[in-house]
Each structure stands twice: as structure tokens, then as C-alpha cells.
């Protein structure tokens, strides 16, 4: 039987943590409200999860990726306390 990649919080959270870690410069840009930073990070997150899933993501899956990425970014922001 073939393993099915399930897009759940438990599965994608480590992937999103990696996206945040690998794009620290853009995370800082997002925290500073720079234009395009969210779109870049959201695109990286979807592309990375899609690559791990080896398939296109459904709309509801993409929305979960974006929602969890936003949560991760807010966690980083709260820990760093960067002032814009």
C-alpha cells in the first residue's frame, strides 16, 4: 500500500519551521511590514509542502499551510519583539 501524505498540522509544522529557519531574512522583512515578504514566505511554504507531498495541494490544504505559517511567524515575532 502506498503512503499518503496528509496535510495536517502535525505533518506540516516541522516543514514550516524549516521554511522559517531557511528564510530568516524574509521573516525579518515580514516583521518589519515590508511589501512582498508574506507572499514570498507563503509561496515558499506551499512549494515546500507540495514538494514533500509530491502532488498539488487542494485549496483547503493550501489554506492550512498559510494559516500555520502565519502562526509560526507570529511565534517568532513574539519571541524577538522587533519594533517596526
Is the predicted pLDDT of residue 5 greater than 80, yes or no?
Answer: yes
The dihedral built from the CA positions of residue 53, 60, 13 and 7, taken in this order, carries a sign that is: negative
For the chain, the structural domain boundaries read 9-80
The pLDDT score that the predictor gives to residue 1 is 46
Q: What is the mean pLDDT of residues 8-23?
A: 96
Confidence tier at 4 by pLDDT (50, 70, 90): confident
Write the pLDDT tens digit of every residue in 29-84: 999 999 999 999 999 999 999 999 999 999 999 999 999 999 999 999 999 875 55
Length of the chain: 84
Class of the CATH domain delimited by 9-80? mainly alpha
In angstroms, the CA 60 to CA 57 distance is: 8
- Does this model's pTM top 0.85? yes
Amino acid at each position: 500500500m502506498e503512503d499518503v501524505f496528509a496535510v495536517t498540522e502535525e505533518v506540516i509544522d516541522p516543514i514550516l519551521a524549516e521554511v522559517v529557519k531557511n528564510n530568516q531574512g524574509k521573516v525579518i522583512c515580514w516583521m518589519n511590514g515590508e511589501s512582498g515578504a508574506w507572499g514570498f514566505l507563503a509561496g515558499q511554504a506551499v512549494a515546500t509542502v507540495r514538494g514533500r507531498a509530491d502532488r498539488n495541494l487542494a485549496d483547503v490544504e493550501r489554506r492550512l499551510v498559510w494559516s500555520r505559517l502565519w502562526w509560526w511567524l507570529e511565534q517568532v515575532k513574539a519571541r524577538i519583539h522587533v519594533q517596526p
